[in-house]
């Protein structure tokens, strides 16, 4: 799930997943962090989810995926679109 907050010239995007689906650590990776899994790991929140916030330029499109333990890549079904390989996010 994605949540957005508009800021001046930027969009704060919160990437949210259930706490244990999938099990183990998960990171959001994309063109905005050079596909670096260490850049944006999701962290547990008190409501039973885990999330990470990323601030991106407004009026842009970004490709991203999630990377879980065991080299398990997956898409966000709630993304704005999919290009066949990646989830797409429009800010």
Residue 53 maps to which CATH number? 2.60.40.10
Q: What is the pLDDT of residue 66?
A: 97
Structurally, the chain folds into a number of domains equal to 1
Looking at the chain, the number of H-run helices and the number of E-run strands are 0, 9
CB 33 within 8 A of CB 42: no
Domain that holds residue 21: 2-90
Q: What stretches in the chain show pLDDT beneath 70?
A: none
How much is the pLDDT for 20?
A: 81
């Amino acid at each position: 799930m994605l949540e957005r907050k508009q800021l001046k010239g930027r969009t704060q995007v919160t990437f949210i997943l259930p706490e244990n689906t999938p099990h183990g650590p998960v990171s959001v990776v994309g063109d905005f962090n050079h596909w670096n899994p260490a850049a944006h790991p999701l962290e547990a929140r008190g409501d039973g989810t885990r999330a990470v916030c990323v601030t991106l330029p407004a009026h842009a499109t970004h490709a991203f995926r999630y990377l879980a333990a065991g080299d398990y890549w997956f898409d966000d079904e709630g993304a704005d679109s999919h290009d066949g390989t990646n989830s797409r996010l429009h800010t």
